[in-house]
Amino acid sequence: PKNWYYKFLYICTLQIMPILVLLKFLFD
């Protein structure tokens, strides 16, 4: 099934988003 794929993508997004936000604040 593709359910695990979406779950994996969701977890990756949750881990990457704070880093992107932090970089945005640092280099803005």
- The pLDDT value recorded for residue 24 is 94
- The pLDDT value recorded for residue 13 is 95
Q: Please count the structural domains in the chain.
A: 1
Q: Which DSSP string corresponds to the chain?
A: --HHHHHHHHHHHHHHHHHHHHHHHH--
- Domain range holding 14? 1-28
Q: How confident is the model at residue 2 (pLDDT cuts 50, 70, 90)?
A: confident
- The pLDDT value recorded for residue 14 is 96
In this model, does residue 1 exceed pLDDT 80?
no
Per residue in 7-21, pLDDT (tens digit) is: 999 999 999 999 999
- The pLDDT value recorded for residue 28 is 82
Phi, psi of 2 (to 5 degrees): -95, 0
pTM to 2 decimal places:
0.51
